[in-house]
Amino acid sequence: MSTNSKKEQLAINTLRTLTIDAVEKASSGHMGLPLGAASMAYTLWNRHLKINPEDPQWFNRDRFVLSAGHGSMLLYGLLHLSGFNVSKKDLQEFRSFNSKTPGHPEWEQTEGVEVTTGPLGQGISMAVGMALAEEKLADTINEEQNQLIDHYTYVLCGDGDLMEGVSHEAISFAGHLQLGKLIVLYDSNQSSLDAALEQSFSDNIQEKFEAVHWQHLLVEDGQNIEEIDKALCQAKETNQPTVIEVKTTIGYGLPKIAGTSDAHSDPVEEEDAKKAKENLGWEYDTPFTIPEEAYEAFSDLKSRGKRLKEKWEQDYSALKQNNPEKIQILEDFLQQKLPEDWSEIFNELSFKEGMLATRTASHKILNALSTHIPQLIGGAADVSSSTKATIDNSSAITASDFSGKNIYFGVREFGMTAIANGLALHHFLPFVSTYFIFSDYMKPAIRLAALMGLPVTHVFSHDSIAVGKDGPTHQPVEQLAAFRSMPNLQVTRPADGNETAAAWKLALEIE
């Protein structure tokens, strides 16, 4: 039974009614998730999330990833009530062309949106990359008396996210590295678009996550913010990544269809929208009404974010005085700034002596670059000995040691690429590698990187039918044409060492 205060419940229902009004006005959209998950989202943002709407790009903010991107109106409502640059007019333009409130969240189109999501499974996978970046930077920058890098990555995901194969790859990887600053809120509403979830999905979520070294917590009443708050507090007390399974009702409040797959998406028409508001105890008739008390409910978030940012700036100044070298490294990360003389590295490389495989040339170039560019980090999908995508003078990242720059992604091509996108969103310059034929597994994540303009370098080897002995399954035929047709993706196919060097230089120069 919910024990939420009147003001808290009003704020939660404001998020719900804004969704109802926006979907009805747009004549399209998804009510189901926002109506069911509003309480958990409110609890996270109001009581835990460390952000500063006055400075949305403050580096030590927590990251919130709406992996179930179809529930975007929930995020837009949160951003508006929290004081981000998302106006009521923007909410009224939901799903309109060129609006700040598109049907799925778009990075850099809407202030406060951390990542482009929509293709299910990729949001949670990119969040793994963000959490890895936080651990890596904390290892690089922090000192015993000054924990300058200290923030969480939160995810709100649904059943569909956890059905997608890429999420399995990323979840396994996160558990292996024990990314304890990663917390996933799982909207467990037992429904998918086509039918009740039992028709397609019967995984034991607890056993599934615990098998890959996650902590699993269960909240039985997804409308009770005290229970949700308790679980979030508990999630912060472990070094394991945590999934909080929150039992909810899809389309909470909708007449006739709440709790069914029919509540997933689409408008419900005026009479049912009115009845839904009555079921929620909503007392206002005018669409897009936002009571002043709803804004007041988010005042703690604003004051908390401002206070924590001021404290962080003090810690930043202290570290700058005591260890200016570390602050310079951090500033280079934040600006994704390369050393002034970085391109001179190529003048020192020579590929005149005889035949040299381009993957071997790439290895030589990568190692020369890594000495000068701390943001460069990455690895391969279990084929680094063949693609040569390794940094020789560095160790591999492990659960107990994040000081290295090599990442053993394992045989997780799709997950690897999505994780690299998360690293890039967190100011790294990641590279990933495998055989060109396996780019088929990676293409959806490469497409998202292209959409966001992320500086991720994909290094492919064995790129022609000349592979021969491995047979037709390992011989790329249509892959090159497919990537050359992808907007905003720079494709180079070097033929020798000098062209490989030019390709690397081009990759690092692209903004």
Q: What angle do CA 370, 449, 373 make, to 5 degrees?
A: 15
E strand or H helix at 64: strand 63-66
134 is catalytic: no
List 114, 227, 245, 413, catalytic entry: 413
Residue with tokens 């996160």: 174
- Rounded Cα gap, residues 414 and 419, in angstroms: 9
- Rounded Cα gap, residues 82 and 54, in angstroms: 10
Instruction: HSE, CB side, 13 Å, CA atoms: give it for residue 356.
Output: 21
User: In Å, how far are 2, 171, 248 from 221, measured between CA atoms?
Assistant: 8, 25, 7
Strand order in the sheet with 215-219: 63-66, 153-158, 182-188, 242-247, 215-219
Strand order in the sheet with 406-408: 406-408, 376-380, 429-435, 457-461
Give the single-character DSSP code of 380: E
- Rounded Cα gap, residues 124 and 223, in angstroms: 23
- Residues facing residue 182 across a β-bridge: 153
Distance from the Cα of residue 199 to its chain's centroid? 29
User: In Å, how far are 103, 416, 422, 464 from 444, measured between CA atoms?
Assistant: 19, 12, 14, 22
Catalytic residue list: 413
